[in-house]
Amino acid sequence: MAFRAFYALPAENFATSTGQHTNAVHGFVSMLLTMIRQQKPTHVAVAFDLDTPTFRSLEYTEYKGGRNKTPEEFYGQIDLIAQVMKAMNIPNITLESFEADDILATMATRGEEAGFEVLVVSGDRDAFQLITDRTLVLYPKKGISDIPPMDAEAVETKYFVRPERYSDLAALVGETADNLPGVPGVGPKTAAKWLNLYGDLDGILENAESIKGKVGESLRAHVDNVTRNRRLNQLRHDLELPVSLEETELVAPNREEIENLFDALEFNTLRKRLFDLFAADEDEEQPEAAVFERLEAKDAGALGDFIAAGQGAPIAVQLAVTGAEAVGVALFREGKAIWLELAGLDEDSEKVLADFLADAQAPKIFHDAKLAKHRLIERGFNVAGLGDDTLISAYLIQPDRRSHELVDLVQYHLKYTVPVLKPAKKGELDLGLTADLAEPTLAQAQAIFDLSAFLAIKVAEKHAAQLAAEMELPLIDVLFDMERAGIAVSRERLDELNAHFTGQVEQATKEAYESIGHEVNLSSPKQLQVVLFEELDLPKTKKIKTGFTTDAESLQDLLVKTQHPFLVALMAYREAIKLRQTVEGLLKSIGDDGRIHTTYAQTVAATGRLSSLNPNLQNIPIRSEEGRRIRDVFIVGEGYETLLTVDYSQIEMRIMAHLSGDEGLIEAYESGEDLHRYVGSHVFGVSPAEVSSEMRSKVKAMSYGLAYGLSSFGLSKQLKISVDEARTLMKDYFARFGAVRTYLRAVVDQARKDGYTETIFGRRRYLPELNSSDRRLRDIAERAALNAPIQGSAADLLKVAMLKISQRLREGSYKSRMLLQVHDELVLEISAGELDAVQELVTHEMSQAADLLVPLDVQPGVGKSWHEAEH
């Protein structure tokens, strides 16, 4: 079933961000959930073959010989399925010397003897011999979704024999998949005719001499094959299994294990399906949230009394939202809660609420405080005094977790369900539906309060309390201000670019058509496969489920090899389409104020890097001239004088030098030489002046690649050189900069011992896969262990700098402000007369963000547009 799932779902569509393919796991688990939902079994078990000899292969060495080599993408997925089964509390049975089919046969017999009705799910026709009045086989026909039941009548209709005679028929006909040759010239119909005439296989063999013609001769010549086939295809019903029937009873899954596994596998939809399927059972077992006392906010006095009663203890705040508008607020503290409908607040109550929210000395707990701040400021409320944000706390203890939704976190950590009510549509507020939001919002406020207390312990255990208090929580206000400010854009320039890229799309399309003499859908992989590999007969790319791949990397390699004009036009078409889509996305994102307001997420990247969303401004191209034109549409806004960009030069290599303590790298940075030219001179044994551009490029690619676990094969592919040359290059590099190799080895070894990596600022990333038995998972974890301290330290450095810059701007009463953070760069909008002071302030704080063994080099640039301010 795992193999069928693998081939039914395209491997290229099912892979985690770390590169682990998951199509077999996803398909297998999906199929199993469908079976459980449809058949409602009381007991479930799963059986797998072991990768060791069986009694069949020991008797007949050619058994199952000739099978195709297992695809590389399949490796590791059986182990992952076993892990999912364990988390689902479903026994995963294997047995030395026997096959999964023997285990199923034994379980089926036990089930029948205990009075069960049995369903065997198998893609192996040998399972048909198990069919009885009480046992059916679910046999897949198309992919993994079409799985009809096979009963005795269905077997007889298809093969003309009863199920108990199917193994006799298979012995005569043979089984190609198992490499068991049958009697030449004898097909299912002939075999069935003989079985119905003589009763069974023994009867046929006893009467072999009387069977006339060539088939009779063939049978008599191949009796040994037939008797061997029968011995091997007969399933065993009497095995001593490590699992009893009682242990296969279907129970609710282990939610924590499923959460962790599905986070790693990135199975969000499947996670919901699984938990929804078992929700009824869980509802009976899981604890409910404690009942709280709901106080009435009759007036400003009652609200003030509730706030004051806590004597400064934290209060959880949750908003009720319709559309994107806050319509109600729930406050919760220590078993008591209060509900405020914003539209119904009198002036005095509104002032009490506003004073509380803006009081920096009154600690408040939110889940996603930045989003709450945006929604509250739209209603005229400022927020200060953030005590905790459970979104941030949850991320710090599990940075690789995919979902940090409140409902998921409470279910996972606290084991109770938070009610969720879909927000009313705009316009329904007049119908009094806002009141319906009160109870679920109050319950969510309680959940935030409970979750905060729970996570505070976990954050301390993970040594992340200082990171939360001094970096991540204060950064929320900085990011909030940046999001509110946005960045001005020129709609006129965007419109011009849109027309320009549309022209490029049309021109590239025309050239593509002309090069092959007819039109084709350039966005259709299927049509491109026909053109490239049939009409043009170009060298084949990597084979995938749907044919030969037409992905960008493969076609770029093909272009380098062939320089075919169709490929030239196709790649130009794809680049123009991508750039036009970027421009179209920016046009749609312009706000009423003529500015684009991105959203910064602190909880997406496991390394600690910030992510820019809706639109993603970190994705604006910079390497191509056409991409840089897009940066030119971002301009200084009205009332400001210029844009200032400031970025770190070679920040990750400087961190590598610091962490490794390599004297050669440190000397290069301290002397102020061009790092890559310096390194190139040592690696190639020439003077710095003799290092060619090609040498410098090779060294640069290798230096950065080492921080990301780049292999000699990967380097050879990147530089388009032989593996031997890449291996020599790396060897010479490490001969000159030995401390780098020592560090890279040590960081992985230490992470394997500790279970995590750590940045300069103490940010941890836990990597349990470092000790996995699956080599592929282990390799992925090792690469993460290499880059997490370096990339994470760079991200932390920039965050520290942003906090210090924000504080200095505020203390100096500057009107200039930060607008964007893009990788290692900050973009600021400078008020008239403030450029020199702000530039000095920003470069100072960025260069002093951490005390490293090498200086932090900061490069400023000034201009009326983002592109002009680049340096």
Which of these three, 743, 774, 792, is where a domain ends? 792
> Which residues of 293-423 form beta strands (DSSP E)?
293-295, 315-322, 325-333, 336-341, 364-366, 386-389
The pLDDT of residue 286 = 52
* pLDDT tier, 284 (very low <50, low <70, confident <90, very high otherwise): very low
* Separation of alpha carbons 310 and 809, rounded Å: 35
211: its two tokens? 């069977």
DSSP 88: T
Considering the domain architecture, whether residues 505 and 367 belong to the same structural domain is answered as no
* pLDDT tier, 65 (very low <50, low <70, confident <90, very high otherwise): confident
Do residues 131 and 152 lie in contact, with contact meaning Cβ atoms separated by under 8 Å? Answer: yes
The pLDDT of residue 237 = 94
Count of alpha carbons within 13 angstroms of residue 740, beta-carbon side: 27
Q: Specify the length of the chain in residues.
A: 871
Considering the domain architecture, whether residues 544 and 578 belong to the same structural domain is answered as yes
The pLDDT of residue 429 = 45
Considering the domain architecture, whether residues 16 and 144 belong to the same structural domain is answered as yes
* Separation of alpha carbons 241 and 254, rounded Å: 24
Number of domains in the chain: 4
Q: For the domain that residue 535 is a member of, what is the CATH number?
A: 1.20.1060.10
868: its two tokens? 């002009």
Considering the domain architecture, whether residues 575 and 437 belong to the same structural domain is answered as no
* pLDDT tier, 759 (very low <50, low <70, confident <90, very high otherwise): very high
Do residues 838 and 826 lie in contact, with contact meaning Cβ atoms separated by under 8 Å? Answer: no
Phi then psi for residue 13, to 5 deg, are -95, -5
Q: What value, to the nearest 5°, has the Cα angle with vertex 87 and ends 86 and 92?
A: 20
The pLDDT of residue 719 = 76
Domain that holds residue 156: 2-160+237-248
Do residues 10 and 545 lie in contact, with contact meaning Cβ atoms separated by under 8 Å? Answer: yes
Residue 67 pLDDT > 80: no
Domain membership of residue 273 (yes or no) is no
Nearest to 388 by CA among 454, 340, 293: 454
Considering the domain architecture, whether residues 682 and 583 belong to the same structural domain is answered as no
CA 526 from centroid of its chain's CA atoms:
27
Residue 729 pLDDT > 50: yes
Which of these three, 741, 774, 792, is where a domain ends? 792
Residue for token pair 């009809």: 148
Considering the domain architecture, whether residues 503 and 434 belong to the same structural domain is answered as no
Cite the DSSP H helix spans in 517-645. 525-529, 552-562, 565-589, 625-631
> Which residues of 147-288 form beta strands (DSSP E)?
149-150, 174-175, 180-181
pLDDT digits (tens, 9 = 90+) for 633-656: 999 999 999 999 999 998 999 999
* Separation of alpha carbons 217 and 203, rounded Å: 17
The pLDDT of residue 521 = 94
Considering the domain architecture, whether residues 9 and 143 belong to the same structural domain is answered as yes
617: its two tokens? 């401004």
Residue for token pair 């750039």: 579
pTM of the model: 0.75
Q: What is the mean pLDDT of residues 672-700?
A: 84
Q: For the domain that residue 122 is a member of, what is the CATH number?
A: 3.40.50.1010
The pLDDT of residue 337 = 94
pLDDT digits (tens, 9 = 90+) for 293-338: 888 888 899 999 999 988 889 999 999 998 889 999 999 999 999 9
pLDDT digits (tens, 9 = 90+) for 343-377: 889 999 999 999 999 999 999 999 999 999 999 99
Least confident of 51-60, 181-190, 471-480, 845-854: 51-60
Q: What value, to the nearest 5°, has the Cα angle with vertex 294 and ends 290 and 297?
A: 155
Which of these three, 217, 248, 279, is where a domain ends? 248
Residue for token pair 């996670």: 271
Domain membership of residue 121 (yes or no) is yes
pLDDT digits (tens, 9 = 90+) for 423-443: 455 554 444 456 688 999 999
The pLDDT of residue 287 = 56
* Separation of alpha carbons 627 and 632, rounded Å: 9
Domain membership of residue 332 (yes or no) is yes
Domain membership of residue 514 (yes or no) is yes
Domain membership of residue 207 (yes or no) is no
Domain membership of residue 855 (yes or no) is no
The pLDDT of residue 660 = 92
Strand pairing report for 180-181 and 611-613 = unpaired
The pLDDT of residue 28 = 93
Strand pairing report for 135-138 and 364-366 = unpaired
Strand pairing report for 543-544 and 547-548 = antiparallel
Considering the domain architecture, whether residues 452 and 498 belong to the same structural domain is answered as no
Q: What is the mean pLDDT of residues 207-213?
A: 91
pLDDT digits (tens, 9 = 90+) for 776-833: 778 888 888 888 999 999 999 999 999 999 999 999 999 999 999 998 999 999 999 9
Domain membership of residue 24 (yes or no) is yes
Strand partners of residue 613: 599
With helix as H, strand as E and coil as C, how does 330-356 read? EEEECCEEEEEEHHHCCHHHHHHHHHH
Considering the domain architecture, whether residues 375 and 431 belong to the same structural domain is answered as yes
Q: What is the mean pLDDT of residues 275-281?
A: 76
> Which residues of 273-314 form beta strands (DSSP E)?
293-295
The pLDDT of residue 432 = 45
* Separation of alpha carbons 191 and 310, rounded Å: 85
Do residues 89 and 46 lie in contact, with contact meaning Cβ atoms separated by under 8 Å? Answer: no
Strand pairing report for 135-138 and 118-121 = parallel
Considering the domain architecture, whether residues 557 and 422 belong to the same structural domain is answered as no
pLDDT digits (tens, 9 = 90+) for 544-569: 767 888 888 888 888 988 999 999 99
* pLDDT tier, 468 (very low <50, low <70, confident <90, very high otherwise): very high
Considering the domain architecture, whether residues 434 and 493 belong to the same structural domain is answered as no
Domain membership of residue 35 (yes or no) is yes
pLDDT digits (tens, 9 = 90+) for 473-508: 999 999 999 999 999 999 999 999 999 999 999 999
The pLDDT of residue 283 = 46
Q: For the domain that residue 447 is a member of, what is the CATH number?
A: 3.30.420.10
The pLDDT of residue 430 = 44
pLDDT digits (tens, 9 = 90+) for 836-855: 999 999 999 999 999 999 99
Residue 525 pLDDT > 60: yes
Express as a percent the part of the chain with pLDDT over 90. Answer: 60
Residue 523 pLDDT > 80: yes
Nearest to 472 by CA among 368, 593, 554, 373: 368
Phi then psi for residue 401, to 5 deg, are -65, 140
* Separation of alpha carbons 80 and 329, rounded Å: 44
76: its two tokens? 């590791």
Q: Alpha carbon of 47 to those of 41, 114, 125, 324, 668: distances in Å?
A: 16, 20, 16, 50, 59
Least confident of 69-83, 94-108, 856-870: 69-83
The pLDDT of residue 271 = 86
Residue for token pair 């069919």: 131
Q: What is the mean pLDDT of residues 624-633?
A: 86
Residue 294: helix, strand or coil by DSSP? strand
CB neighbours of 497 closer than 8 A, spacing ≥ 6? 579, 583, 629, 630, 633
With helix as H, strand as E and coil as C, how does 795-831 read? HHHHHHHHHHHHHHHHHCCCCCEEEEEECCEEEEEEC
Strand partners of residue 146: 142
Mean of per-residue pLDDT scores for the chain: 89
The pLDDT of residue 142 = 67
CA 39 from centroid of its chain's CA atoms:
31
Considering the domain architecture, whether residues 508 and 558 belong to the same structural domain is answered as yes
